[in-house]
Amino acid sequence: MKIVLSILFVMLLVFSCKKKKESAPEEPAPVVENGTLAVKINSYDSLGYPEAKTYSTSIFINGTGYSVDTNGNASLSLPPGTYFPSVLRTKYEGVPFSANVSSNVTSSVTSFVARNSPYALQINSGNAVNQDSITLSLTLNKAIPAGKQVKFAVLMGTNTLVSVNSYTVFNEFYLTQTSNPKFNICSGALKTAINQLPTLTNFYLLAVPVTYGNYYSTILNKNILVGDNLPVAGASTPSIQLTKTW
């Protein structure tokens, strides 16, 4: 009898311990603390010079509900992760960038916006003379302030669809006057690309005023033109066709 009671006691003890173990409360999931993203936005004016004055700017964190209106500097509390903010300002163009946020850490990132160029540039005519001389007759739509200059990009392609989003190669130049009857654009990457074309090949040139100009985007993995003049009325000047004769 004593043996039976001992066995029953042991069984009850084991069952009781097992039940207690099964009913033990689960440990709460660890709390993930936000990090801070500190964003600084620089800006460039209508001639490509850095601006000291600040303007209202909106920063949106793509794919989330986070956004903030700022005068150029902002701090956002965000969960850890990689983000791709967008910067919007009226008559300005931003560039794509990324930011990594870690828990309980302040991560700083700097980007910029550039004013869209207020200039339009007309190609009146062109002449492909030889490997060292390809001239364009260029006219700006308005005067350049004294002592200043206007940056523009000449884009080249081998079809009529050459545009700021579709071109083979480009160079950047500066104008100091509104009328430029024989502006030689045969230099740098343009010169190399055109001289490598077979003889009697047609090519197309488009001249686009810009403020900031060329920027290599690691997000898009390509060069982009920042601060072009597309919002300007009459700015979509058709490209000009020339022929390599040498």
How large a percentage of the chain has pLDDT more than 90? 65
**Integer Cα distance of 99 and 113 in angstroms:** 17
What tokens were used for 88?
A: 């919007």
What tokens were used for 199?
A: 């003889």
Neighbours of 4 (CB within 10 A): 8
What tokens were used for 195?
A: 């001289």
Q: What pLDDT was estimated at residue 5?
A: 42
Average pLDDT score, the chain: 86
Q: Model pTM?
A: 0.80
- Which backbone phi and psi does 186 adopt, to 5 degrees? -85, 85
**Which DSSP symbol is given to 79?**
-
| Confidence bin at 237 (pLDDT 50/70/90) | low
Fold of 121-243: Immunoglobulin-like (2.60.40)
- Which backbone phi and psi does 196 adopt, to 5 degrees? -85, -10
Higher-pLDDT residue of 29, 173: 173
Calculate the CA 130 to chain-centre distance.
36
Domain boundaries, the chain: 35-115, 121-243
Average pLDDT of the residues in 71-82: 90
pLDDT one-digit tens code per residue, 182-236: 999 999 999 999 999 999 999 999 999 999 999 999 988 988 999 998 655 555 5
pLDDT one-digit tens code per residue, 128-179: 999 999 999 999 999 999 999 999 999 999 988 888 888 999 999 999 999 9
**Which DSSP symbol is given to 194?**
H
CATH of 35-115 given 2.60.40.1120, 2.60.120.260, 3.20.20.150, 3.40.190.10: 2.60.40.1120
